[in-house]
Amino acid sequence: MKTSFYLDDIKEQLRRFAPPTHVINWRDRWRASVGALCGLLTASWSSYLIFGNGGIPLLIAPMGASAVLIFTLPTSPLAQPWSVIVGNMISAVVGVCFAQLFPAQAGVAAIAVALAVLAMFSVRSLHPPGGAIALLAVMGGPSIERLAWHYVLAPVALQSVSLIICALLYHKLQGGSYPQSSAHQINLHQTGDQAISTRLGVSDEDLDAVLARQGKIIDISRADLRKLIMQTEIQAQQRHRTRIQCSDIMSHHLITVQFETPLEQCWQLLRTHKIGSLPVISDGGTIIGMLSLIDFLKQADLDVYHDFDLRLRQMLDQARILSGSEVQVAGHIMSTNPLTAQCDSNVLELVPLFSDRGLHSIPIVDDDGKLCGMVTQSDLIGALYQMQRNQVNTSPSNP
């Protein structure tokens, strides 16, 4: 019995060393791998282009670790440009100081790494490969020793900057967001109020308080952490509440226009149907943009109310009369790349889009991207009210 207890305890301890389950799909894995390849090739090419073959090491080992962070964890605070460039450079400075003052011994290298960590903390540029940068400066052998203080600028700074430049272009081409902004969420109405999700949900102060109590470094940005919490809450609500899909509440009979629809006609549609926006669709029925009242006001340059009606009418008249005018049709002033939702999406997924993104209506599309409906704020309010009623009626206290 006692032996069995110890075996179970050993098995439980061994399970803690098992690798975590990967939730990253194969497409993103290949993207990260190709990105790391491109980044390291760019870093080595820049070294060769400036210093030739043999001037400096074309690629130092710590850059491989930096590439892994930058291309696999682009939202991590440890992988942001400031952390990569400043973290690597300040670690190189510490490493070269020790290499100049002390012999190349393991103990000296260990102290250099420890002080490099403190230096990175002091300037908020913690970057794990920086430890390897400092260690390489002390223990890198003759090829690194002869560089002396040049080691800080080339290869460290040069290759770090090259990695970042490649990452900026690569993530941009992939449709990602790099670097991550640490700024607070922008208030679309330019007032002092926070977003509704922050007012009712998790605030920066809440995150700071919890992280301070944990006393640990969290390898995730504040914005991503807040987004994960919000999406987890929505997922939990979807599990416990009656599921209502966008297709259940959307409007099916839509007023739409096409790219070549004249602005005069678009304006009349907005007025006649008393709506705030018009979906712009292609010949195949896919949505290509949204045309709203705001788009008309922006185009008419209505910064002040004075002569409001005159300038708006002049813009519409020009669009109707002047065949050579640059602004004639809906496609010229519409907002492109509109946010959309799928027909089978849970209506709860629309809440942050309406509350924090300043949207008043969201186009609903099918699997082929074709427009099939619209959901407005009032539609969502009605759905949430119905969900609350269903929950109350089915609760144990209301038989």
Which of 173, 193, 209 finishes a domain? 173
Number of separate domains in the chain: 2
Tokens 């790494």 — which residue? Answer: 113
Q: What pLDDT does residue 132 have?
A: 98
For residue 179, say if its preceding peptide bond is cis, omega within 30 degrees of 0.
Answer: yes
- Domain interval for residue 340: 246-394
H-state helical runs in 73-218: 81-101, 106-122, 129-139, 142-145, 150-151, 158-173, 196-200, 204-214
| Beta pairing class for 361-365 and 371-376 | antiparallel
Confidence band of 309 (pLDDT split at 50, 70, 90): low
pLDDT digits (tens, 9 = 90+) for 2-13: 556 567 778 778
Q: Compute the distance between CA of residue 262 and CA of residue 246 in angstroms, rounded to an integer.
A: 31
Q: Which residue has the higher pLDDT, 397 or 377?
A: 377
Q: Compute the distance between CA of residue 307 and CA of residue 240 in angstroms, rounded to an integer.
A: 54
CATH number at residue 263: 3.10.580.10
Confidence band of 322 (pLDDT split at 50, 70, 90): very low
Q: Which residue has the higher pLDDT, 384 or 393?
A: 384
Q: What pLDDT does residue 308 have?
A: 56
Residues 267 and 375 in one domain: yes
Q: Which of 250, 244, 252 is nearest to 385 (CA)?
A: 244
| Percentage above 90 pLDDT, the chain | 54
Highest mean pLDDT among 128-132, 178-182, 319-323: 128-132
Which of 120, 138, 173 finishes a domain? 173
Instruction: Give the predicted TM-score (pTM) of the model.
Output: 0.66
Are 315 and 344 spatial neighbours (Cβ–Cβ below 8 Å)? Answer: no
pLDDT digits (tens, 9 = 90+) for 177-212: 899 865 555 555 555 556 655 665 677 778 878 877
Residues 168 and 264 in one domain: no
* Burial (0-12, 13-18, 19+ Cβ within 10 Å), 102: middle
Q: Compute the distance between CA of residue 114 and CA of residue 92 in angstroms, rounded to an integer.
A: 13
Residues 263 and 124 in one domain: no
Q: Compute the distance between CA of residue 301 and CA of residue 380 in angstroms, rounded to an integer.
A: 33
Which of 110, 143, 173 finishes a domain? 173
pLDDT digits (tens, 9 = 90+) for 54-105: 889 999 999 999 999 999 999 899 999 999 999 999 999 999 999 999 999 9
Q: Give phi and psi for 179, each to the nearest 5.
A: -80, 170
Q: What pLDDT does residue 21 have?
A: 67
DSSP result, 293-330: HHHHHHHTT-SSSTTHHHHHHHHHHHHHH-TT-S--BH
Residues 43 and 159 in one domain: yes
